[in-house]
Amino acid sequence: MAYMHGVRIQENPTSVSTPVTYEGGVPVIFGTAPVNLAADPANAVNKLFLCRTFAEAKAAVGYSEDYGSYTLCQAMDAFFKVFGVGPVVLCNVLDPATHKKTYSETLDVVDGQAISATLGVLLDGLTVQADSADLALDTDYTVEFNEAGYLVLTVIKEAVTSVTLSGNMLDPTTVTAAEVIGSYDSETGAETGFELVRKVYPTFGIYPGLFLAPGWTQDPAVALALAAKCTDINGMFKSECIVDIDCSADGATKYTDVPAAKEDMGLTSEHAILLWPMVQYNGKIMAYSAMYAAMVCYEDYNNDSVPNLSPSNRLLNISATVLADGTEVNLDTVQGNELNAVGVVTAVNLNGFKAWGNNTAAYPGVTDPKDRWICCRRFFSWWGNSFITTYMEKVDSPANYRLIESIVDSENVRGNSLVSQGKCAGIRMVYNQEENTIENVLNGKIVFHQYLAPYTPAEDILNILEFDPSMLEAALGGE
């Protein structure tokens, strides 16, 4: 080590600030990640990671700015860097044991280092040669990855001017939609992809609040499979999913194509939020679902984690809305309204790009306010989920008047609190004798009836202007 005497400076990379904590249901995100950069690559496949910070997410599954290849990374950016909100649950389906291809590269050694120009190099099975002779790890060279994800080889052996690397590298193009959707192996009990939804609550004690798979849900099969996971989670919970409509050359490349694209998807679930097109942030193109989900959680956080506010007309922190090839899409509110009319959320530039749309994918086929409005649907799911987690400890208690009274009173107090805060118009719980027959009571069943009235969004505000000649007459001819 060099002998130091004097004053020195060291600059570290800019760190990501600690995110605020959203206390509603946790977002669960599926996709691909550069697991060769993870702290434990062999243990980063089809496993759920609860990540509260960007550093935790990066250590769990790796990070790269190649969003097209590594789709989880765009969500990591949106949640932790753009909106600074967490936690999230990440699930990578890219398996380095199968999703790989051969790799070979010759590099010049400069000042004792050789830096690869290839992303996704796997250290397992990597061979390094100089002058056709194998070099030994930790004896002749050391290896690590830099911040951008490229392999950096430091040569210890003297007189080496170039090295040849060979082995395997990740091949995210071989990951299929079926692998993202996942499956259950009845023989081994192994669960992959979306099937891991079941494990979120048993593993972390947090129910899922949003599902997304940015970069994948433009595939109708993936979108439908994700929407199917939104109900009856663990036999108890409900969630919403955020889905992208394809805006590649094979999809909707202009806003008038969107209604037909939605119809072709066949997705009409009240638990699905459909988005079009993609977005651009910091020069990078990402799925709209990644940015929208982060924005939703951030707005919920600023509202005491109560999801009663509409995500529409909220700032997205993006620079453009784009197609998959990067072509900019500049919608005005008239065009945006046409998409809203078919149950699709878009984004418009109103002195800053904002989400635009209040309807779930069920609209216009479903007009029940509980299922039509995004904010009402999310409020119902959130309230039901929180009721379950709050009173789970009451299950198997004696079914006496004290139990019934405590639940009814607690719920009405909780509801009145939200009413006083202006977060809903009313919440009321009752226990009806006619809904609790002696037969049900003898069989251990208790039925409560709760009425919820979250506010619907003020989507259409009309001000009628009329010329009043009498005012002109009074101003010009009055005494």
101-118 tens-digit pLDDT: 999 999 999 989 999 999
> 72: part of which helix (H) or strand (E)?
helix 72-76
401 within domain boundaries: no
> Does 192 fall in a domain?
yes
477 and 350 both lie in a single domain: no
473 is in which domain, residue-wise?
408-479
Closest CA to 94 of 172, 167, 38: 172
Q: Are residues 191 and 299 in the same domain?
A: yes
Q: What whole-number distance in Å separates Cα of residue 428 and Cα of residue 2? A: 73
Residue 6: the pLDDT is 65
Q: What is the pLDDT of residue 478?
A: 58
Residues 115, 233 within the same domain: no
pLDDT of res. 349: 97
444 and 342 in one domain? no
298 in a domain, yes or no? yes
Assign 292 to helix, strand or coil: helix
| Packed helices 220-228 and 258-265: angle between N→C axes, nearest 10 degrees | 60
Q: What is the pLDDT of residue 18?
A: 61
pLDDT at position 427: 97
| The dihedral formed by the CA atoms of 126, 130, 136 and 141, expressed in degrees to the nearest 10 | -90
Regarding whether 162 and 48 lie in a shared domain, the answer is: no
Return the number of other C-beta atoms located less than 10 Å from residue 419's C-beta: 15
Both tokens of residue 443?
Answer: 């069989």
214 & 354 share domain: yes
Is 78 in contact with 290 (CB distance < 8 Å)? Answer: yes
State residue 183 phi and psi, 5-degree precision. -160, 170
The answer as to whether 7 is a domain residue is: no
What is d(CA 72, CA 48) in angstroms, rounded to the nearest whole number? 13
What per-residue confidence (pLDDT) applies to 103? 94
> Same domain, yes or no, for 27 and 43?
yes
Domain boundary among 143, 170, 197: 170
> Do 246 and 338 fall within a single domain?
yes
Q: Taking the model in full, what pTM does it have? A: 0.93
179 and 166, same domain (yes or no): no
Residue 163 in domain: yes
Q: Considering the domain boundaries, does residue 380 fall inside one?
A: no
Q: Please, is 330 exposed, middle or buried when counting C-beta atoms within 10 Å of its C-beta (0-12, 13-18, 19+)? A: exposed
**Structurally, how many domains does the chain consist of?**
3
- 353-384: pLDDT as tens digits: 999 999 999 999 999 999 999 999 999 999 99
Which residues in the chain come in under a pLDDT of 70?
Answer: 1-3, 5-6, 8-22, 478-479
- The neighbouring-strand residues paired with 275 are 244, 345
306 and 225 within one domain: yes
Residues 357 and 306 in one domain: yes
The answer to whether residue 253 is domain-embedded is yes
CA distance 476 to 150: 78
Residue 281 lies in a domain: yes
218 and 237 fall within a common domain? yes
